[in-house]
A and B are shown apart, each in its own frame.
Chain A
């Protein structure tokens, strides 16, 4: 009897110590390991890239993971067209054919808000060697809610100014990089257009539809689409009016920006400048001389804007635990370094120009230091909100009135607020 009492007391003490030890520990407990039968788990991750090199890299990381994880049968990277990515993903979720992991851009807020994503923080912190504290706060902010990370920001690509030096030389123009301002870009763009008939500056992917990309311009005027808490529209602010007046003049007065309905692809040599993400450097084919600089300064000074993509695990997956464990492997420091050749990483340890240049054949270490590493800490992201598609469509519908020569900038921007404010309030 005494022995039994002692054993019970010992067990209670051990349990208490274990609980206390767990609670006091600086490192969270390692995540539970899967108990799935060998070959019984097939994982599918939706991506929007169709780049064969990128898919091959993902494939090789998946093969390495499978070698150590017998429970994994297959890992598939399902490449969906970028233009329809959100629609296709939501249709798959609605149809009960949800992927296990998914890339996400502006859909992330809706997914997080709906509780559709698996929280990652505990697993990532508990994975030996993952080094969670290495993540930049500015990179994780968009994918974090209530101190939980819901998607790993695998791509953090700042927007930069690409310059076609050949076109500038053809028009007899020289760029003063010491004072690289929007006024200078517009003036040179206008001169190039007049001399060569080619476009001046192009905000890539805007195409008079995706107005959120214009944040790469209006941020230079100190403007933003809505308040920080996302509830109040600020499209009608004085700063925004000035920014849009600049764009309107560039199109209809200075002719430094191709107007609506005019196709001009910088990477095909159709324009003097473009604002595009650094990752778009992969489109350069060496057919003309190019330089890349941080975004030009605006009246509000220098600034940087970031386009992000994250990868998360969907709760509707039948294998959330295995998918989360694979995500931890895919994004550990070693694999993050491999992914960094295509996607600027969120890890501070990898963010030096020299490290990024190790696997980048398009840009030099110096360029990568200037346009990526130096820009990331203070960068703002493109506008992101719940109901992104509806806000985008209603905003575009109102903003269409801007793209006529006699548009009243202030009136149009006020109508944008009227259109999107009910959605911001939700």
Chain B
């Protein structure tokens, strides 16, 4: 019925003029569809592996789940209230803050220093770049296991120290040295990524700017702080974000090296979440802690994006 009416209408149009039919799949719509099709696989991935688990975590955090009997009991905000009553949580948050700060500061400082050192032309520079980057491609667990043996009381590190007459500490059994050990192990393994990012950024700094500054009488320190650092500040922001997020997600290093000990000195939040959910089978409280961690990561990332206006220059 409609089709015949349309046909009739087009027949009424003046001869020589094409009817002005509105095509649904116009150029704009087709472009949009193409865009959506391109991002669809990623969207499906985010939906299945991020949004659904986050939704489930919220659901589980409102329930008490007895895994063995399969009973799920709605408890409302009980798990959230338990955060305030958990006597171990302050120590866990403290360990998380120390570990994350240590990893971020050391990683960025070391990554930038290595990048500056290796941003020169000298024989064997490629070898050194490969050498510093290679731990990144090593399995975390394998890397940590080897370090675990080296850091034993009678292990390789203390053996080397003994060669020069130094009695090394029992690295993994004493609170402060255990934290130092897990931070350094993590930094050495992951610093290669930041080094490569900084190296790429440094190579993008125009040489003529350095030359101009030098002609104006600027020293190395002034050139670095006034020219180089501002120009690579977008990369500093990027590395800061990925390093903080990476540090907050560190798990295998802790699980293999220290199991969170001695005491709670190296029990970071992710490891604590794992313990609660999978060792103690308290899925509800574990989910609540995981949501707290998610909130921390989101807040830190938003904060860094806000702060970029103050310390990131030449942002597109």
A residues in contact (CB < 8 Å) with B: 86-87, 90-91, 93-94, 110-111, 114-116, 208-209, 259-263, 316, 387, 389-390, 393, 396-398, 400-401, 403-404
Whether A91 lies near B152 (C-beta < 8 A) is: no
Whether A90 lies near B281 (C-beta < 8 A) is: yes
Whether B279 lies near A390 (C-beta < 8 A) is: yes
- Residue in B67, B152, B264, B279 whose CB lies within 8 Å of A397: B264
Whether A387 lies near B280 (C-beta < 8 A) is: yes
Whether A261 lies near B152 (C-beta < 8 A) is: yes
Hey, which chain B residues are within 8 Å of A400, CB to CB?
261-263
Whether A389 lies near B279 (C-beta < 8 A) is: yes
Whether B152 lies near A316 (C-beta < 8 A) is: no
- For residue B259, CB closer than 8 A to chain A, the reply is yes
Whether B153 lies near A260 (C-beta < 8 A) is: yes
* Cα distance, A400 to B153, chains bound together (Å): 16
Encode B264-288 as 1/0 by CB contact (under 8 A) with A. 1000000000010011110100000
Whether B263 lies near A389 (C-beta < 8 A) is: no
* Cα distance, A1 to B278, chains bound together (Å): 69
Whether B278 lies near A87 (C-beta < 8 A) is: yes
* Cα distance, A115 to B264, chains bound together (Å): 33
Hey, which chain B residues are within 8 Å of A404, CB to CB?
174
- For residue B70, CB closer than 8 A to chain A, the reply is yes
Hey, which chain A residues are within 8 Å of B155, CB to CB?
261
B residues in contact (CB < 8 Å) with A: 65-70, 88, 149, 151-155, 170-174, 259-264, 275, 278-281, 283
Distance (Å) between the CB of B148 and the closest chain A CB?
Answer: 10
Whether A397 lies near B68 (C-beta < 8 A) is: no
Hey, which chain A residues are within 8 Å of B264, CB to CB?
397
Whether B173 lies near A260 (C-beta < 8 A) is: yes
* Cα distance, A400 to B88, chains bound together (Å): 15
Whether B279 lies near A94 (C-beta < 8 A) is: no
Whether A261 lies near B173 (C-beta < 8 A) is: yes
Whether B153 lies near A93 (C-beta < 8 A) is: no
The dominant DSSP class at the B interface is loop
A396 in contact with B261 given A87-B279, A260-B173 (CB within 8 Å): yes
Whether A393 lies near B152 (C-beta < 8 A) is: no
- Residue in A86, A116, A259, A389 whose CB lies within 8 Å of B170: A259
5 A-B pairs with CB atoms under 8 Å apart are: A94-B65, A116-B68, A261-B170, A401-B262, A403-B173
* Cα distance, A90 to B275, chains bound together (Å): 13
Whether B153 lies near A90 (C-beta < 8 A) is: no
- Residue in A90, A115, A208, A398 whose CB lies within 8 Å of B173: A208
Hey, which chain B residues are within 8 Å of A115, CB to CB?
68-69
Hey, which chain B residues are within 8 Å of A116, CB to CB?
68-69
Instruction: Report the nearest B residue to A391, measured CB to CB.
Output: B280
Hey, which chain B residues are within 8 Å of A111, CB to CB?
68
A90 in contact with B68 given A208-B173, A261-B171 (CB within 8 Å): yes
* Cα distance, A260 to B281, chains bound together (Å): 29
A403 in contact with B279 given A260-B173, A263-B154 (CB within 8 Å): no
Whether A114 lies near B170 (C-beta < 8 A) is: no
Distance (Å) between the CB of A89 and the closest chain B CB?
Answer: 10
Whether B67 lies near A262 (C-beta < 8 A) is: no
* Cα distance, A344 to B259, chains bound together (Å): 32
Whether B261 lies near A261 (C-beta < 8 A) is: no
A94 in contact with B67 given A259-B170, A260-B173, A263-B154 (CB within 8 Å): yes
A393 in contact with B279 given A90-B67, A114-B68, A116-B69 (CB within 8 Å): yes
* Cα distance, A114 to B64, chains bound together (Å): 14
Q: 9 other contacts beyond A91-B278, A393-B279, with CB at 8 A cut-off?
A: A87-B279, A90-B281, A94-B67, A115-B69, A260-B170, A261-B153, A261-B155, A397-B263, A403-B262
- Residue in A93, A262, A396 whose CB lies within 8 Å of B152: A262
Instruction: Report the nearest B residue to A207, measured CB to CB.
Output: B259
Distance (Å) between the CB of A196 and the closest chain B CB?
Answer: 14
Hey, which chain B residues are within 8 Å of A90, CB to CB?
67-68, 278, 281
* Cα distance, A93 to B281, chains bound together (Å): 11
- Residue in A91, A93, A390, A397 whose CB lies within 8 Å of B261: A397
Distance (Å) between the CB of A404 and the closest chain B CB?
Answer: 8
Instruction: Report the nearest B residue to A389, measured CB to CB.
Output: B279
* Cα distance, A401 to B262, chains bound together (Å): 8
- A-B pairs with lowest CB-CB distance, top 3: A114-B68, A261-B153, A400-B262
Instruction: Report the nearest B residue to A403, measured CB to CB.
Output: B173
Distance (Å) between the CB of B111 and the closest chain A CB?
Answer: 30
The residue in B154, B172, B259, B280 that gathers the most chain A C-beta atoms within 10 A of its C-beta is: B280
* Cα distance, A398 to B265, chains bound together (Å): 12
Instruction: Report the nearest A residue to B261, measured CB to CB.
Output: A400
Whether B68 lies near A93 (C-beta < 8 A) is: yes
